[in-house]
Amino acid sequence: MKTKEIAELSADELRSRKRELRHEIFNLRLQQQSGQLEKPSLIRTLRREAARVETFLSKKIKAATAVKS
């Protein structure tokens, strides 16, 4: 997912995307431990995407609290 696409998501969509990514990373780690993972670089890619999602989520939360203040 591109950065522009992530920026367009709402806070709820970001939370669900983060949950999906973490679940997928967990499954890939299980595959890695059992020796079934074909693309180890996929874990790194998903971790980075999860970090992007978390960054945009925290920015949106900060912006929402700043507006309330």
For residue 69, is pLDDT > 80? Answer: no
* Confidence band of 67 (pLDDT split at 50, 70, 90): confident
51 and 9 in contact (C-beta within 8 Å)? no
The per-residue pLDDT for 53 is 97
Fold observed for domain 3-68: Helix Hairpins (1.10.287)
pLDDT tens per residue, range 1-44: 889 999 999 999 999 999 999 999 999 999 999 999 999 999 99
The per-residue pLDDT for 68 is 80
The per-residue pLDDT for 45 is 97
1 and 49 in contact (C-beta within 8 Å)? yes
The per-residue pLDDT for 41 is 96
